[in-house]
């Protein structure tokens, strides 16, 4: 799972390396670096409770859904 991803050259290079090395282990969805995630973590609340956290919340939700799908395929 890729999280706290930004659009820097270093992150892009690292992502491409992972995609080439272990593509089957990566999630399709990514959680990008977003200030609302920092706020939610600091305040100990879900990001979707923040008025300005809707984009981050969608990314987190997409990763969680993908995680549950992978788990269901593996164990059911």
Q: Over the stretch 28-47, which tens digit does the pLDDT of each residue have?
A: 999 999 999 999 999 999 99
Q: Is the dihedral of CA 65, 69, 70, 72 positive or negative?
A: positive
Structural Rg of the chain based on CA atoms: 14
* Stated pTM of the model: 0.83
| pLDDT over threshold 80, residue 76 | no
Q: Which domain holds residue 39?
A: 2-75
Q: Provide the number of structural domains found in the chain.
A: 1
Angstrom distance (rounded) from CA 57 to CA 36? 9
């Amino acid at each position: 799972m890729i999280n706290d991803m930004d659009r820097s050259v270093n992150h892009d290079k690292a992502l491409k390396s992972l995609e080439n090395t272990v593509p089957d282990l990566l999630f399709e969805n990514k959680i990008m670096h977003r200030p609302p995630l920092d706020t939610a973590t600091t305040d100990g609340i879900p990001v979707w409770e923040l008025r300005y956290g809707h984009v981050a919340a969608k990314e987190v939700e997409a990763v969680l859904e993908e995680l549950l799908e992978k788990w269901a395929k593996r164990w059911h």
